[in-house]
Amino acid sequence: MKETLQPGLTHTMTYVVPATRTVPHLLPESGDFAAMPHVLATGYLVGIVEWACIETVKGHLEDGEITLGTHVDLSHQAPTVPGATVTIEVTLTGVEGRALTFDVTARDDHAVISTGSHRRGVVNHDRFVSRLPHPQVGARR
């Protein structure tokens, strides 16, 4: 981790929701999900928040370091339809050793859709992958 990885870093990211990020597409093998309305799935919202947090710390990690999600505490308080733009605002609020804490707010064209926090840990990519029980696709060599 570089010395620049400090609380106070912010990032704003926008994401236009495609139809493939709606609830029926989350786990299409589930008939229950397939029958749900076509609105942004909470699972995909979590992924978008993680992406925004990753973007927040880009340039503040050493070569070979990545961050991995360790905790999610997010509301999902309003539906977002395909074609809407979601804006994610992230602030790095804590750096404790290799543990990072982010405050998050997400809104679409009509309302705040999510608030909460997310934690990520800084790890060495190659060391992490080498400890996995099976070879992984995308592992760097």
Q: Where are the domains of the chain?
A: 10-130
- Asked whether 36 and 23 are in contact (CB, 8 A), the reply is yes
- Asked whether 55 and 72 are in contact (CB, 8 A), the reply is no
Q: What is the pLDDT of residues 81-138, one digit of tens each?
A: 999 999 999 999 999 999 999 999 999 999 999 999 999 999 999 999 999 887 666 5
What per-residue confidence (pLDDT) applies to 84? 98
**Alpha carbons 38 and 28: distance in angstroms, whole number:** 12
Give the confidence band of 141 by pLDDT, cuts at 50, 70, 90.
very low
Q: Considering the chain, what is the average pLDDT of its residues?
A: 95
What single-letter DSSP state applies at residue 110? S
**Alpha carbons 13 and 50: distance in angstroms, whole number:** 11
More confident residue, 81 or 139: 81
- Name which of 127, 102, 126, 114 is nearest 10 in CA terms: 102
- Asked whether 54 and 69 are in contact (CB, 8 A), the reply is no
Q: To the nearest whole percent, how much of the chain has pLDDT over 90?
A: 91
- Name which of 5, 8, 121, 129 is nearest 71 in CA terms: 121
Residue 9 clears pLDDT 80, i.e. is over it: yes
Where in the sequence numbering do the catalytic residues fall? 42, 50, 76
Residue 24 clears pLDDT 80, i.e. is over it: yes
What per-residue confidence (pLDDT) applies to 134? 76
Residue 139 clears pLDDT 60, i.e. is over it: no
> 10-130: which CATH number, 3.40.630.30, 3.10.129.10, 3.40.605.10, 3.40.1710.10?
3.10.129.10
What per-residue confidence (pLDDT) applies to 52? 98
